[in-house]
Amino acid sequence: MRLATWNVNSLRARLERVVPWLAGVAPDVVCLQETKLAGDDFPHRAFEALGYDCVHHGEGRWNGVAICSRLGLEDTAAGFADGAGEDPDARIVWATCAGVRVASVYVPNGRAVGHDHYRYKLAWFGRLRAHLEAVCDPAGDVVVAGDFNVAPEDRDVWAIEAFAESTHVTQPEREAWQAVCGWGLVDTFRRRYPGVDGLYTFWDYQAGRFHKRQGMRIDHVLATEPLAARAGGIVVDRNARKGTKPSDHAPLVVDFAR
DNA sequence: ATGGTAGGTGGCCTA
């Protein structure tokens, strides 16, 4: 199974980049974030033409997550099953694809340390962990893929000095991310490339960050141990960040042996 | 020169 995650920063604005990318890379399952579409506005036809069935959880202006699969799409669900009420934002959607339980997640950005949205971000990680405990099995095949808005280590940003007082790198965010991993999920990229620095998945549009190679590794494919053990090739598709009207994120692609 | 880009929406907010 070739699985990819990509924060497209508006699927409406990005469809003309996403369609040829799907045809070229040919992932079996794609987790999308920041569709910025209402539920009914998802371009199902464009994906069906490429052989993908999709589940979309969207609200309109912001957020919005989807899973597209050409290996089937069963038991779809939106939001959390932690018994703590509905998340006001459309940030997580679930589906089972060829026996693998898949989540596409868009973790809150946080905006600023100490901001209400920062507390919401930390709480959101807690809800994700609670959901996993409630309805998932770490001994099964589970993958949680998406934009986590956390750089797990200092070496996952281009220069830690540039992130003083910033979100994405604070200890509480990293601990919240580690608590999710601690349920039984492996950071597949870091396991495969334990010594690699300077490979990122996001580059700010401003200040020519991409061309200066000044990015952050904040998009992750987390997999339970049995699934992570079957991870083969792992690639950040930097080509998708180049050219006309790119997203500010590049896709992360992971091949899992069956 | 203390900025800058992009996407949404609607006359600013989010990233």
Tell me, yes or no, if the pTM score tops 0.85: yes
Q: How many angstroms is C1' of B1 away from CA of A142?
A: 50
**What are the average pLDDT values for consecutive 10-residue runs of chain A, which has 258 residues?**
98 98 98 97 98 97 98 98 95 98 98 97 98 98 98 98 97 98 98 96 97 98 98 98 98 97
- Nucleotides on chain B within 7 angstroms of protein Cβ: 4-9, 14-15
Sign of CA dihedral A216, A196, A105, A241: positive
A13 beta carbon to strand B: under 7 Å: yes
What is the pLDDT, as a whole number, of residue A18? Answer: 98
A33 beta carbon to strand B: under 7 Å: no
Residue with tokens 């040829």: A20
What is the pLDDT, as a whole number, of residue A258? Answer: 87
Q: Take residue A124 and report the two structure tokens written for it.
A: 């959101």
Question: Do A15 and A8 contact (CB within 8 A), yes or no?
Answer: no
